A and B are shown apart, each in its own frame.
Chain A
Amino acid sequence: MTQTLPTVDAEAAAALIAPTTPPGRRRRSGGGTAKRVLVAVWLPIVLLALWWVLSASSTSPFFPPLSKILGEWWDQWIVGDAKGQLVSSLRNLVFGYLAGSLIGATFGTLLWRFAAARRVTNPIIYFLYVLPAPALLPAMIALFGIGEMRQIALISFGAIWPTLLNTLDGMRGIDQVKFDAAKAMRLSPTRTLFSLVLPAAAPQMAAGLRASLQVSIILMVVTEMVAAREGIGYFILQAQTVFAVTKMWTGILTLVIIGMVANFLFVAIERRALAWYHRSRAPGNS
């Protein structure tokens, strides 16, 4: 019982400095893959079943039966030409997220390396970090027009900060003894970066990258809802303005699927890349 207290404190403390905590929650319950999948999906399945049952006889124009939504979803997104919206959204998401997290990780590393630059830029970074990204939409429209460049730019802008701050924080937390060891082994600066700095900071960088992904998905929708001509957000808004409520719901359903798939992919890659980290923290390895 008491053992959980320090962890909670440490996580709370970490949350103060960094927007997110490292992915340290012990997930591995020792069961097989089937069991893990079951644990992950039982709640969504129960909720979907509930939605299906409760909405089955619904006559409310705002909450059509789920069966109707699913039928319409098939017609729109699989058969119909809403696919184009999906492609456009995903393209913005992928480019925006990749650019943003790359910039975040690079500048996080540079700011860690150059303390003077860190001190000088600290107020600006804090300002940009607390600034809600959607507030920049009008400025972005002025800068990039209303094409997809503006959307990608805003997504990357929002994606930068969680990755940057977590990269910086993760690198600052590396034990000095590990750097002494690097010097004792005569590792070159490049080798120190790839053999020590990046792997040591990787768990917290992953936490930042995950938060950046969440922000990117939110910004993807937001940018498509203001002065846009395509995308899922645009699709939802259009459907709503012409009172095509079922159609609107299919857009929301697509967003849910994108969010789930993106998260699933992220976790799968992270588990593979940071296998050492998850295994060293598994029960039995204190």
Chain B
Amino acid sequence: MTNATVTSASAGPSTGRTLPAGTPVLDVEHLRKIYNEGKPHAKMAIDDVSFSVDKGEFVCIVGPSGAGKTTLLRCISGLAQASSGRLAFEGTPLTSVPDQLGLVFQDYGRSLYHWFTNAKNVGLPLAARGVPKAERARRVSEVLAEVGLPHVEQQYPWELSGGMQQRVAIARALSYHPDLLLMDEPFASVDAQTRFDLEDLILKVRRDLGITVVLVTHDIDEAIYLSDRIVVLSGSPSKVREVVDVPLGQDRDQVATRASDEFLELRRHLLDLVMPHGA
């Protein structure tokens, strides 16, 4: 009963605690990840990455293909073990995936459970958190409406288009109102128009729910359009090349923002950073 009255910004079913002011939602210090450590075929995917994300921020991580972006996301979400460095989520060291973290994977076709209906998919994290059935159904249709997909509850993911399936995956990650939403190249496999729609959807969701977002992409324009800050990674094994502030304000528009001088200036700077020099 009390849950229903809590505002959506912090409506997690179990978080009663408030963070001390100034505690970053995510804090990454000197993260290093070596696959198959100690074996002859050891492979360093991440060399040294540090950054932090404050509450309410939208941070993009850009880097070339194979830079270790997925690896980085797996580490900061608690899915993979870091080789060294310090990781903290809302001030507590990471051991497993935190309760208040939502994840959207690179490939919706592989992350959705195609034997369940969309409603069941979206309701799964709620069921795992012990939300009763009636409440679950209400929140599932609420969050599906939030991502612009009313009336798909009874359908299966494979009955929807690619863009719609990614919306279902986003709804699934949002259903339990996480504090932090982590996304791994969520729009890489949809067409340009759908991509614009989904970018605006994420901005709207972020405004509506007041959540913090970290999004991985290899698309510089997308990173500038979406974020408040951009963490630029070098090629493999990745290091942070630069953290770029994006002072474009809260309201963004696909046509006007992308044509603005500030946008173009940032774009030139970022391209300069990621382009190989002297080659």
Residue of A nearest to B175 (CB): A185
* B113 x A196 contact (CB < 8 A): yes
Flag B107-146 by CB within 8 Å of A: 1 or 0 each. 1001111111000000011011100000000000000000
- Asked, given contacts A195-B124, A285-B158, whether A184 binds B77 with beta carbons under 8 Å apart, the answer is yes
Which residues from chain A contact B116 at a C-beta distance below 8 Å?
Answer: 195, 199, 276
* A177 x B114 contact (CB < 8 A): no
In the assembled complex, the CB of B74 is this many whole angstroms from the nearest CB of chain A, namely 7
A185, A187, A195 interface centre (most CB from chain B within 10 Å): A185
* A187 x B124 contact (CB < 8 A): yes
A-B contact count (CB 8 A): 65
A119 at the interface (CB under 8 A from B): no
Task: Scan residues 144-181 of chain A and give those whose CB is less than 8 A from a CB of chain B.
Answer: 175, 177-178, 180-181
A27 at the interface (CB under 8 A from B): no
26 CB-based A-B contacts, threshold 8 Å: A177-B110, A177-B111, A178-B110, A180-B74, A181-B103, A181-B105, A181-B111, A181-B112, A183-B79, A184-B79, A184-B97, A184-B102, A184-B173, A185-B128, A186-B99, A186-B125, A186-B128, A195-B113, A195-B116, A199-B113, A199-B116, A200-B113, A202-B115, A276-B116, A285-B158, A285-B159
- Asked, given contacts A183-B79, A186-B129, whether A276 binds B99 with beta carbons under 8 Å apart, the answer is no
CA A200 to CA B110, docked complex, whole Å: 12
- Asked, given contacts A280-B158, A285-B158, whether A180 binds B79 with beta carbons under 8 Å apart, the answer is yes
Q: Interface size (A, Cβ < 8 Å)?
A: 22
Residue of A nearest to B105 (CB): A177
A271 at the interface (CB under 8 A from B): no
In the assembled complex, the CB of B38 is this many whole angstroms from the nearest CB of chain A, namely 20
In the assembled complex, the CB of B271 is this many whole angstroms from the nearest CB of chain A, namely 31
A188 at the interface (CB under 8 A from B): yes
* A185 x B172 contact (CB < 8 A): yes
B156 at the interface (CB under 8 A from A): yes
Top 10 A-B pairs, shortest CB-CB distance? A184-B103, A185-B125, A199-B115, A177-B110, A181-B111, A280-B158, A276-B115, A187-B128, A175-B110, A183-B97
